[in-house]
Structure 1
Amino acid sequence: MKNVLKVSAVCVYDLSGRLLTVRKQGTTKFMHPGGKPERGETAAEAGVRELSEEVGLHLAAVDLELIGVWTGTAANEANTDIEATVFTAPGRWDADAVIPAAEIAELRWMHLEAAADFDDLAPLLTEYVLPRLHKA
């Protein structure tokens, strides 16, 4: 039986409309900034906390817009699925103001139409979120 981790993730866009993806230290897949909720946190509260910790963006939980909730294969943990609650951050951000911190090893901004050019994106992103974003 697979383990299931609950996570929150946030889609962040820069001024030219590129989506922010991050790669955590010791991993090979790029994904949204985000992570596991702490005890008593809502999914949105976890999302804004993780954005602050991982890339230095400070938002209010009420400002996030829910995109969807999906269960898929975890990118970096064996025998594990993730139940991901995915949001969009409001507005557009200056890419230079977004700085990798905490466990983030690398940032990459990506045009949505170029996603197929990358073979190192997390399954949640390629199987669930990007198809939804392309419809929007």
Structure 2
Amino acid sequence: MSAVIRIVAAVVLDDRNHVLVVRKRGTTAFMQPGGKIEPGETPVEALRREVREELNAGIVEASLTSLGHHDAAAANEPGHRVAADLFVVALDGPPQPGAEIVEMAWVDPHAPGDLELAPLTLGAVLEYARVS
């Protein structure tokens, strides 16, 4: 059985319904901004912290919408799975790479292109963006 990593992830859409993805230092796959939930944090608290650290922006609280819980293979940790709480959010300013982020991109959910995308992004996230 695979080890499970509990995370939160932000689904940020632009005005064309393209999805923001990030690539972290030392990795090859692009994924949603977000990360591990620290002890004592709720998923929403972890999401606020991760978005601030990774995107140098805050969340517009009225935009916060849960997409529920989703499981997928972990992109950067072989033999692991992620158990993700996904949230659609609007940012209070333009995203700027912070913390461990080395690259950002906007992905068309109908034509994702050649970027290596994490399984969670390829599945639940792009599926949501296609029908939004």
The TM-score with structure 1 as length reference comes to 0.86
1:132 match:
128
Find the aligned partners of 1:86 and 1:6 in 2 and give their Cα distance: 11
Is the 2:19–2:129 Cα contact (8 Å) retained in structure 1? no
Q: CA 1:132 to 1:14, structure 2 compared with 1: closer, same or farther past 3 Å?
A: closer
Query: Are 1:29 and 1:121, in contact at CA under 8 Å, matched by a contact in 2?
Result: yes
Instruction: Indicate the residue corresponding to 1:7 in structure 2.
Output: 7
Distance 1:55 1:68 in 2: 22
Whether contact under 8 Å (1:48, 1:61) holds in the other structure is: no
> Structure 1: 5+ residue runs without aligned partners?
none
* Residue 80 of structure 2 is aligned to residue 46 of structure 1: no
Do 2:31 and 2:121's aligned partners in 1 also have CA atoms closer than 8 Å?
yes
Counterpart of 2:130, as a letter, is H
Q: Does the Cα contact within 8 Å between 1:44 and 1:62 map onto a contact in 2?
A: no
Superposition deviation, residue 65 in structure 1: 0.4
How far is 1:102 from its partner? Answer: 0.6
Give, in whole Å, the separation in 2 of the partners of 1:113 and 1:49: 30
User: 1:48: how far off?
Assistant: 1.3
Greater fraction helix? 1
The partner residue of 1:118 within 104, 111, 114 is 114
Instruction: Give the Cα separation in 2 of the matches to 1:133 and 1:14.
Output: 10
| Corresponding letter in the other structure for 2:99 | A
8 Å Cα contact 2:59/2:92 also seen in 1: no
The match for 2:103 is 106
Query: 2-side partners of 1:36 and 1:30: how far apart?
Result: 16
Matched AA of 2:84: A
User: Gaps spanning 5+ residues in structure 2: where?
Assistant: none
Deviation at 1:18, TM superposition (A): 2.3
CA RMSD of aligned residues (A): 2.0
Separation in structure 1 between the aligned mates of residue 108 and residue 115 of structure 2, nearest angstrom = 14
Paired residues in the alignment total 132
Q: Aligned partners of 2:43 and 2:5: how far apart in 1? A: 13
TM-fit CA distance, 1:130: 1.4
